[in-house]
């Protein structure tokens, strides 16, 4: 079944028409053969679970195949790097390479100067290998990150159980429910990988650990050198991402609540507190100082923080409303099954995993994180929740094959929910070669100091040289500016390009992905791109300087003095 499923998957990727993607992204264009391959792969894994003699090698092969089917599919189908934020991070690494470290005149990108760990690590790798850009390997970040995450997940689950079917079942469930999509080329993916590693190492040392211990090692203590390694990993987290250290602190605090755990947890917690406080008081101080009042206000609005990521479905495209409700259903089902496991499997309460499910919720009430905290809380709770779900579904019994008949549709339903969240926005997350070519032309020809205007940031590489060009996406402007653009596209864009001078013209770039994002998220009317393009084609002082099938670039030259 494994080999057949992989063969069907590879065959299904031939001649996929990406241009047909609309409300539901890849779900609308992947052929039936793809879904048959996924169903057959899941069936084979259930058959493996039903046999007590199945070895770790077979389980590993099935999980790696699942990672390939889910995460390598976009990498194989798309001609360019997926997701605009991944391009943004490529631009940051390029700028740090050019400046040898901190990037001046970074404006809204200055936050990356204050948490540079991920970017400097990539810059070091590029210098060591002689590669000119991370684009080549960034395209494969999602399958690579998920493969690397397999090690910490196994270490975490083996710290609390010895049944390999339960362990691998939990791994499968994690990958089947991880729809949030924070595994792209980003500091978050790097920091999350390290977070799971730290938690796994801590669980391994707890008195409740199921792992055998060396002869004289005292239960609930750190072996020489391992604590230092954990603190080094914590330092890498602290220097790379603002949110993940707080998630780690929250997890360590709740793990320290049982008295038996404190000998192990408190040294790591103390080190994490010191490292985070030192970093925030020095390197990250500009950001913390500027946003302190906002952070305090969020603490006083826990109810608003919790629902901040849920109340945005009104203007979205019909398919996106379905995607959002499926995502919510999968997330709610995961937490519900974990809660049932807590009640029905009392032995799981000794593992510390129920505490790890709850710990991200403390930050959910403390900060909205731009409306994304609810999704990040789910992401950080999922590794522990996946094990609890596996403990509920894969209970030891005398008829494992009959049990697998009931488990199979549950695992299929999880994967069904996953693909809605993971593939549902691909109409705006993927970029064509034509769009990338238009952006390259713009970056190469725009003089330093020029302003680049766009409807959104959904473009491949528009942030390149961000220290030299000013960006003005419409979706970052005030509501009054957006309404003006909708009423009169030319007047709306004129207000954004009026800063142009003879030596520093302004540019307007319009693209297929911008139109898709406006439609999918409902941030602007679906016809805004076409209306604006028609207006610019007739407007004085706007010159069409580049055009292809998926993008157009207009240059705005300031009128001479004394003219209108």
DSSP assignment string, 82-129: SSHHHHHHHHHHHHHHHHTSSPTT-GGGHHHHHS-HHHHHHHHHHHHH
For 304, the token pair is 């608003």
Query: CA geometry: angle at 150 spanning 146 and 155, to 5°?
Result: 150
Query: Is 385 exposed, middle or buried (CB count within 10 Å of its CB: 0-12, 13-18, 19+)?
Result: buried
Quote the CA–CA distance of 177 and 337 in Å, as a whole number: 12
Quote the CA–CA distance of 222 and 212 in Å, as a whole number: 14
Helices (H) and strands (E) in the chain, counts: 27, 5
Can you give the pLDDT at residue 87? Answer: 96
Can you give the pLDDT at residue 364? Answer: 79
HEC letters along 459-475: CCCCCCCCCCCEEEEHH
For 124, the token pair is 């070091």
Q: Which residues pair with 471 in a beta bridge?
A: 452
Closest CA to 355 of 206, 460, 457: 206
Closest CA to 172 of 329, 59, 47, 40: 59
Closest CA to 476 of 537, 439, 505, 517: 517
Q: Are 5 and 70 in contact (CB under 8 A)?
A: no
Closest CA to 428 of 16, 23, 65: 23
Q: Which residues pair with 551 in a beta bridge?
A: 511
Quote the CA–CA distance of 111 and 9 in Å, as a whole number: 41
For 307, the token pair is 């629902």
Can you give the pLDDT at residue 454? Answer: 93
Task: Determine the length of the chain.
Answer: 564
Can you give the pLDDT at residue 215? Answer: 45
pLDDT tens for 196-233 read: 999 999 999 998 776 665 544 555 678 888 999 999 99
Q: Are strands 470-473 and 542-547 parallel, antiparallel or unpaired?
A: unpaired
Q: Are 262 and 256 in contact (CB under 8 A)?
A: yes
Can you give the pLDDT at residue 445? Answer: 93
Query: Is 215 exposed, middle or buried (CB count within 10 Å of its CB: 0-12, 13-18, 19+)?
Result: exposed
Q: Are 220 and 263 in contact (CB under 8 A)?
A: yes
Can you give the pLDDT at residue 216? Answer: 41
Which domains, and CATH codes, for the chain? Answer: 2-82+139-211+220-427 (no CATH), 431-556 (3.40.50)
Cα 303 off chain centre by = 24
Q: Are 86 and 94 in contact (CB under 8 A)?
A: no
Q: What is the mean pLDDT, run by run of 10 residues, along the chain of 564 residues? A: 96 94 94 97 94 92 98 96 95 94 88 94 94 92 96 96 94 96 94 98 88 54 89 97 94 95 95 96 88 61 50 72 92 95 93 94 73 85 97 76 86 96 94 96 93 92 91 86 89 87 88 93 88 91 94 88 56
pLDDT tens for 303-312 read: 444 544 554 5
Can you give the pLDDT at residue 305? Answer: 44
- DSSP-derived 3-state class of residue 556: strand
Residues 6+ apart with CB under 8 A from 517: 428, 455, 456, 458, 523
pLDDT tens for 19-67 read: 999 999 999 999 999 999 999 999 999 999 998 889 999 999 999 999 9
Q: What ranges in 261-352 are assigned the alpha helix state H?
A: 262-281, 285-290, 292-299, 302-307, 318-344
């Amino acid at each position: 079944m494994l080999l057949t499923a992989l063969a069907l998957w590879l065959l299904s990727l031939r001649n996929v028409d990406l241009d047909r993607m609309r409300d539901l992204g890849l779900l609308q264009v992947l052929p039936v053969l793809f879904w048959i391959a996924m169903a057959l792969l899941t069936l084979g894994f259930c058959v493996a679970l039903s046999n007590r003699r199945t070895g770790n090698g077979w389980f590993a092969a099935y999980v790696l195949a699942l990672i390939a089917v889910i995460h390598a599919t976009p990498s194989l189908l798309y001609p360019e790097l997926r997701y605009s934020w991944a391009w943004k991070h490529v631009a940051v690494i390029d700028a740090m390479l050019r400046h040898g470290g901190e990037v001046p005149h970074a404006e809204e990108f200055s936050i990356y100067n204050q948490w540079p760990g991920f970017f400097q690590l990539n810059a070091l790798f590029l210098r060591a290998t002689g590669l000119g850009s991370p684009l080549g390997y960034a395209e494969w970040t999602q399958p690579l990150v998920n493969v690397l995450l397999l090690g910490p997940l196994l270490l975490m689950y083996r710290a609390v159980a010895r049944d390999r079917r339960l362990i691998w079942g939990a791994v499968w469930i994690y990958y089947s429910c991880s729809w949030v999509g924070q595994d792209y080329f980003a500091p978050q993916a790097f920091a999350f990988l390290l977070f799971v590693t730290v938690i796994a190492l801590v669980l391994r040392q707890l008195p409740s650990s199921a792992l055998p211990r060396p002869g004289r090692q005292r239960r609930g203590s750190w072996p020489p050198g391992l604590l230092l390694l954990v603190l080094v990993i914590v330092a890498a987290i602290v220097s790379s991402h603002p949110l993940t250290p707080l998630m780690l602190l929250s997890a360590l605090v709740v793990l320290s609540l049982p008295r038996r755990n404190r000998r192990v947890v408190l040294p790591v917690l103390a080190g994490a507190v010191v490292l985070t406080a030192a970093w925030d008081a020095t390197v990250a101080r500009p950001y913390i100082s500027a946003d302190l009042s906002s952070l305090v206000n969020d603490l006083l609005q826990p109810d608003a923080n919790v629902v901040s990521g849920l109340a945005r479905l009104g203007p979205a495209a019909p398919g996106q409303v379905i995607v959002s409700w499926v995502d919510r259903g999968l997330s709610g089902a995961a937490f519900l099954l974990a809660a049932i496991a807590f009640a029905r499997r009392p032995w799981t309460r000794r593992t510390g995993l129920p505490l790890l499910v709850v710990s991200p919720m403390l930050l959910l009430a403390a900060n909205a994180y731009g409306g994304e905290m609810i999704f990040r809380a789910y992401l950080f709770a999922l590794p522990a929740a996946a094990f609890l779900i596996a403990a509920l579904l894969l209970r030891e019994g005398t008829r494992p094959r009959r049990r697998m008949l009931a488990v199979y549709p549950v695992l299929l339903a999880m994967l069904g929910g996953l693909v809605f969240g993971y593939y549902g926005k691909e109409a705006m997350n993927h970029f064509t070669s034509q769009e990338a070519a238009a952006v390259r032309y713009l970056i190469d020809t725009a003089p330093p100091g020029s302003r680049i205007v766009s409807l959104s940031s959904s473009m491949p590489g528009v942030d390149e040289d961000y220290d030299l060009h000013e960006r003005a996406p419409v979706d970052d402007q005030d509501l009054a500016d957006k309404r003006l653009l909708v009423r009169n596209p030319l007047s709306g864009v004129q207000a954004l390009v009026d800063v142009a001078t003879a030596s520093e013209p302004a540019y307007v770039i319009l693209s297929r992905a911008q139109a898709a994002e406006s439609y999918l998220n409902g941030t602007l009317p679906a016809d805004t791109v076409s209306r604006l393009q028609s207006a610019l084609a007739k407007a004085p002082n706007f010159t069409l300087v580049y055009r292809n099938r998926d993008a157009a670039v207009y240059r705005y030259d300031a009128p001479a003095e004394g003219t209108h």
